[in-house]
Amino acid sequence: MTDVHQFNRIVSEFKLTREQAMRLAPDGVVQKVAPQSLRKLLDEAARQQLPIMAFLGNGAVTQIFSGKIGKTAASGDWYNVLDPDFNLHIRETALKNGYVVQRAGVTSVEFFDKNGDLVVTFFGVRERAKPQPQAWIDLTRSL
């Protein structure tokens, strides 16, 4: 792949689910992580004031957030970002798998539910045609 956006076309072309593509990826491209890594990812991004992008969606719409997060908190089965400009509420018990994915020089972290559906994808914020921040790479490697 030469562009991160080619991934969806490849998945479609080979009639794979996104999670199947994760499991079938070549060595070194995908690292499986525990669903509990979500907390570490969000907590560290908040602590370091590391700008992130979050993509969440369903069959009709996709919400995209880009920026720094500040307040993370657990409440029962839910893990939350509680900021004035961004609220995120993820039921941790619904997550089954997580993956750190390397594609076309961009690192993402993706979490899937028990049905194999994508719940949320995170990226480090970067400028177009510039490398992703080293702090983001370090954070994803620590998961």
Q: What is the CATH number of the domain that holds 92?
A: 3.40.1570.10
Examine residue 96 and state whether it is found in any structural domain, yes or no: yes
Assess whether pLDDT exceeds 60 at residue 5.
no
Examine residue 109 and state whether it is found in any structural domain, yes or no: yes
pLDDT averaged over the chain? 90
Supply the range of the domain harboring residue 13: 6-142
CB atoms within 10 A of CB 78: 14
Examine residue 46 and state whether it is found in any structural domain, yes or no: yes
Return the percentage of the chain with pLDDT > 70, whole number: 90
* Amino acid 19: pLDDT: 83
Do residues 111 and 22 make contact, with C-beta atoms less than 8 angstroms apart? no
Examine residue 62 and state whether it is found in any structural domain, yes or no: yes
Examine residue 1 and state whether it is found in any structural domain, yes or no: no
Examine residue 28 and state whether it is found in any structural domain, yes or no: yes
